[in-house]
């Protein structure tokens, strides 16, 4: 039994190394990596090759495995090589968990889609076993085992199901693991209304924004549902629209929904190779994608100098574009845009960035968590113009937080009649607001 276990372990390591090497070469050469099924076929061929070599040696000793035994070894190696580890597998199978946090093997917290934090079962029996689990997750994500070691104590990757994994060890008191999941990949606005993110009136307003081709900036903190909201709004687009998506990592997955979107072009940032060359930044791509005749441009997350290219595209005729940005309020996006604009070494004056932002943006939607953990749209701010004398963007807060969290109409800042008529013509129905508040 011990010999069989050692044989499976040795072949698992060989499979991880060879498949990991191939995936790395694909990344460095800019080739599309094989999917999970193709990786399994590669692994099966590697194990079969090794078994054939061992069979020739065993034949001389009269110890050849039967066909059934060979199949058992192959399946055991594949299970070991491609399983993330049983404890984590069970967590990832839950359809209500959005975040997994392990602060050491025995301190596991689960965050549900409703914002509730639960204690989870330990991930193994020791911190060393948790590190081994993280290394297994790394292999499943196309990374070799040695990439999470004392020499490489940090790990950041995307798992095959689209979840984001971050891990650290050796530079921390204990090994830490965080997995962020995107459960509402195909959620539309009806689903978000059912979950209490906002009411039917706000849904109608956001739908009108999309149909009227307003440029939208969705902002908020980490993990509040910015990507989920933007995806739901993009589902309001005509299926035939040519949508060009720019992302650091694939998170929107619009290209996987042909029933909703007929033309989706996805561009992704690429890190430099081991020699420090070949990197493609979001700013590089933001200048490239405008040449592909987009009906809309979507940036998964603005976090650097690409904010200028995005704003220029929005203000030069590519209407109906969207992006997300980290911010702690709907107003703070403007100074943050100025900081991002200068991140690439460009000498942008704050007033110039503010003027460009006013030209580019039509509305800012702020998403946050309530005290009880719910994700809600808390503010909707209309961008009006740039005041050159004051040096800032003039805006109106059309919706502000209600008593229970989600945004409600702001009676001190009603939608101007001309804009209200435009939005109503595109489907907005003020009477749908749950609060009953109207202007």
- 298 or 22, which is more confident: 298
Q: What percent of the chain has pLDDT over 70?
A: 91
CB atoms within 10 A of CB 374: 19
- pLDDT higher than threshold 90 for residue 372: no
378-397 pLDDT, tens digit each: 999 999 999 999 989 999 99
Which domains does the chain carry? 2-82 (no CATH), 86-180 (3.30.450.370), 189-432 (3.40.50.300)
Predicted model pTM? 0.75
318-337 pLDDT, tens digit each: 899 999 999 999 999 999 99
Q: Which residue has the tokens 């399983």?
A: 83
Question: Can you give the pLDDT at residue 317?
Answer: 82
Q: Which band of pLDDT confidence, cut at 50, 70 and 90, is reported for residue 431?
A: very high
- pLDDT higher than threshold 80 for residue 6: no
Average pLDDT over residues 271-300: 86
Q: What percent of the chain has pLDDT over 90?
A: 50
DSSP letters of 374-419? -EEEEEEEEEEEEETTTTEEEEEEEEEE-TTSSEEE-TTSPPPHHH
Question: Can you give the pLDDT at residue 309?
Answer: 85
213-217, 245-249, 365-369, 396-400: lowest mean pLDDT where? 245-249
Question: Can you give the pLDDT at residue 2?
Answer: 46
- pLDDT higher than threshold 70 for residue 63: no
């Amino acid at each position: 039994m011990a010999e069989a276990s050692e044989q499976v372990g040795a072949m698992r390591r060989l499979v991880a190394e060879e498949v990991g090497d191939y995936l790395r070469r694909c990344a460095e050469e800019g080739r599309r990596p094989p999917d999970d099924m193709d990786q399994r076929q590669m692994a099966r061929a590697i194990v079969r090759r090794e078994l054939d070599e061992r069979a020739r040696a065993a034949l001389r000793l009269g110890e050849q495995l039967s066909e059934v035994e060979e199949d058992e070894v192959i399946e055991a190696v594949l299970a070991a090589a491609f399983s993330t580890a049983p404890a984590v597998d069970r967590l990832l199978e839950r359809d209500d968990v959005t975040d997994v946090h392990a602060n050491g093997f025995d301190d596991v917290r689960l965050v549900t889609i409703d914002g509730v934090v639960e204690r989870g079962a330990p991930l193994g029996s020791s911190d060393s076993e948790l590190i081994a689990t993280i290394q297994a997750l790394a292999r499943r994500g196309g990374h070799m085992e040695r990439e999470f070691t004392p020499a490489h104590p940090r790990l950041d990757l995307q798992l095959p199901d689209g979840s984001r994994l971050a891990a650290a060890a050796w530079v921390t008191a204990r090994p830490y693991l965080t997995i962020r999941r995107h459960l509402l990949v195909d959620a539309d606005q009806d689903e978000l209304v059912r979950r209490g993110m906002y009411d039917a009136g706000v849904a109608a307003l956001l739908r009108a924004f999309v149909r009227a081709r307003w440029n939208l900036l969705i902002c908020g903190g980490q993990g509040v549902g910015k990507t989920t909201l933007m995806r739901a709004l993009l589902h309001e687009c005509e299926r035939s629209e040519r949508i060009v998506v720019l992302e650091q990592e694939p998170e929107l997955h619009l290209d996987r929904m042909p029933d909703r979107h007929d033309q989706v072009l996805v561009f992704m940032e690429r890190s430099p190779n081991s020699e420090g060359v070949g990197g493609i930044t979001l700013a590089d791509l933001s200048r490239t994608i405008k040449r592909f005749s987009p009906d809309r441009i979507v940036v998964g997350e603005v976090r650097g100098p690409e904010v200028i290219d995005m704003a220029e595209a929005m203000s030069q005729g590519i209407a109906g574009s969207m992006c997300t940005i980290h911010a702690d309020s709907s107003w703070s996006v403007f100074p943050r845009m100025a900081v991002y604009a200068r991140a690439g070494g460009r000498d942008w004056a704050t007033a110039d960035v503010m003027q460009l932002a006013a030209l580019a943006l039509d509305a800012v939607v702020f998403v946050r968590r309530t005290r009880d953990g719910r994700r809600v749209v808390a503010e909707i701010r209309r961008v009006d113009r740039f005041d050159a004398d004051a040096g800032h963007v003039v805006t109106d807060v059309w919706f502000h937080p209600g008593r229970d969290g989600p945004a409600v109409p702001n009676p001190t800042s009603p939608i101007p009649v001309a804009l209200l008529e435009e939005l109503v013509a595109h489907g907005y129905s003020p009477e749908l607001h749950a609060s009953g508040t109207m202007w």
